[in-house]
Amino acid sequence: MKLTMIAACLVSLALASPAVASTSSSSAVGGELYSGQNKDPEDTKAYVLIEYAVIPSKQSEFVAAFEQTASATKKEEGSVVYTLTRSVDENLSFWLYSEWTGMKAFAEHFNATYVKDFVKRSSELDVVYKLHILDKVIY
């Protein structure tokens, strides 16, 4: 499947969650995917950054929900890097940086029950997120 098609599927999945609909940027992951000049045709890996805004009173529940998803995700064959980070200069943002063997592996991950449960839980915790499909620039 072409990268743009997979990204479009992921956008529609993400849009199914009301918390996301208000902030999801179609320019980041929609039909017009940015493709950098330096894209290496040999590199089939997928690079994905998800930015979360989590209100302070819900952060411990968010992290607890994330821990469950992360332990299952790290067992996936297609998962290469899966790291949740947070900002040290404000108390709102978390960033999930991930690398996958390919877009197919990422799409399969997004399809897993534990990911759907996490998306649902995030929505209950009023988490707002934005997904960015990245292009590697320096090789």
Ligand X SMILES: *[C@@H]1O[C@H](CO)[C@@H](O)[C@H](O)[C@H]1NC(C)=O
Quote the Cα angle for 89-92-95, to 5°: 85
Q: Which residues contact residue 63 at a Cβ distance below 8 angstroms, ignoring those fewer than 6 apart?
A: 84
Q: How far is the CB of 86 from ligand X (least distance, A)?
A: 8
Residue number with CB closer to ligand X (27 or 57): 57
Tell me the window of 24-32, 44-52, 75-83, 107-115 that interacts with ligand X (CB under 6 A).
Answer: 107-115
Residue number with CB closer to ligand X (22 or 113): 113
For residue 98, list its beta bridge partners: 48, 82
Residue number with CB closer to ligand X (1 or 137): 1
108 belongs to the binding site for ligand X (CB under 6 A) = yes
Contact 126, 55 (CB under 8 A): yes
d(CA 123, CA 15): 12
The 10 Å Cβ neighbour count of residue 70 is 17
107 belongs to the binding site for ligand X (CB under 6 A) = yes
Residues 31-90 that bind ligand X (CB under 6 A): 56-57
- Note the residues at the interface with ligand X (CB under 6 A): 56-57, 91, 107-108, 111
